[in-house]
Amino acid sequence: MERTLVLIKPDAVVKNIIGKIISIYEENGLYVENLKMISPTRKILEEHYEEHKGKPFFQELISSLKDRSIVAMVISGEEAISKVRKINGATDPLKAEKGSIRNLYGISVRQNSVHGSSDIHAAKREIKIWFES
Ligand code: IDP
Ligand code: MG
């Protein structure tokens, strides 16, 4: 049993597809263990995307998410981390596997509808940031 952190990003929230996205995880045998809607501060986002600090897209990424409605969830299940990454699809919606969330709903590399933790360390760290701080 694993836990991972999933974010439904603002581009998907404004499309009114929160329910559709959650259903996809549920239909794949995963469980919503915790959930909240949050408009994050710059501080939370900079912590969350710490590994990308200094990259050319970093500031734009943070500004595009700051103070906008995001659904944060702890998703659990067997191999939840890799399962979620597969269900989400590649970062670039144009390269995302057919039927993945980013293939179905993503707008661009930046506005790609969802986030899923990359590994067990990231998952623990990110769950702390969004649910325990
Ligand atoms: P991931 O979300 O698939 O793990 P990362 O490489 O960790 O992808 O990047 C984090 C987030 O930063 C992406 O989901 C996307 O929103 C944004 N991002 C990544 N690369 C670019 C880029 O080249 N331009 C704009 N935004 C990007
Ligand atoms: Mg990542």
| Ligand 1 pocket test, candidate residues 110, 118, 121, 126, most atoms within 8 A of CB | 110
CA 23 from centre of chain? 15
What CATH number is given to the structural domain containing 87?
Answer: 3.30.70.141
Question: pTM surpassing 0.85?
Answer: yes
Residue 115 a catalytic site member: yes
pLDDT in tens, the chain (133 residues): 999 999 999 999 999 999 999 999 999 999 999 999 999 999 999 999 999 999 999 999 999 999 999 999 999 999 999 999 999 999 999 999 999 999 999 999 999 999 999 999 999 999 999 999 8
What residues line ligand 1, using a CB cutoff of 6 Å? 52, 57, 61, 91, 109-110, 112, 115, 118
Beta strands, E only, the chain = 2-8, 31-38, 70-77, 114-116
Domain that residue 97 falls in: 2-131
User: Hunting for tokens 């980013």 — which residue is that?
Assistant: 102
Q: Following CA atoms 80, 82, 86, 88 in sequence, which dihedral angle do they give, to the nearest 10 degrees?
A: 60
Ligand 1 centre to CA of 103 (Å) is: 15
Q: What's the domain count of the chain? A: 1
